[in-house]
């Protein structure tokens, strides 16, 4: 089993142990993703582009950002699990589409 499926399984186990399946409808999970994405964007809202760069962020900021990234990832993996979406597959499919929309010069 690959890393992504392993993470999905751990998150599923976490939710099941708390009887959260009833809350984890795709609709609600999409809301949770939007909510966590809002917290992630809030980490950056008053920083300049330069201040947001890897080498400018403090360790505390990096930890806070890492945990917000994790929150988005957890709900995204959970939604993919609940809907039976293969994340690797859809990411590659979307990159393929984007290649057609944004061709390179050569």
Q: Which of residues 43-102 bind a copy of itself (CB under 8 A)?
A: 43-49, 52-54, 57, 62, 65-67, 69-74, 76-77, 79-80, 82-85, 87-88, 90-95, 97-99, 102
DSSP states of 25-92: -HHHHHHHHHHHHHHHHHHHTTS-TTTTSTTTS-HHHHHHHHHHHHHHHHHHHHHHHHHT--HHHHHH
Exposed, middle or buried: residue 28 (CB in 10 Å: 0-12, 13-18, 19+)? middle
Q: Select 2 or 60, whichever has its Cβ closest to a copy of itself.
A: 2
Residues that bind a copy of itself (CB under 8 A): 2-4, 7, 10-11, 14, 17-18, 23, 25-28, 30-49, 52-54, 57, 62, 65-67, 69-74, 76-77, 79-80, 82-85, 87-88, 90-95, 97-99, 102, 104
């Amino acid at each position: 089993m690959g890393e992504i499926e392993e993470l999905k399984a751990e998150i599923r186990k976490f939710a099941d142990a708390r009887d959260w399946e009833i809350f984890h409808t795709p609709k609600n999970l999409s809301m949770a993703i939007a909510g966590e994405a809002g917290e992630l964007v809030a980490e950056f809202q008053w920083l300049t582009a330069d201040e947001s760069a890897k080498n400018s962020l403090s360790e505390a900021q990096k930890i806070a950002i890492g945990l917000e990234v994790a929150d988005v990832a957890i709900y995204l993996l959970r939604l993919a699990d609940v809907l039976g979406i293969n994340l690797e597959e859809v990411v590659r499919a979307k990159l393929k589409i984007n290649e057609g929309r944004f061709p390179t010069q050569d």
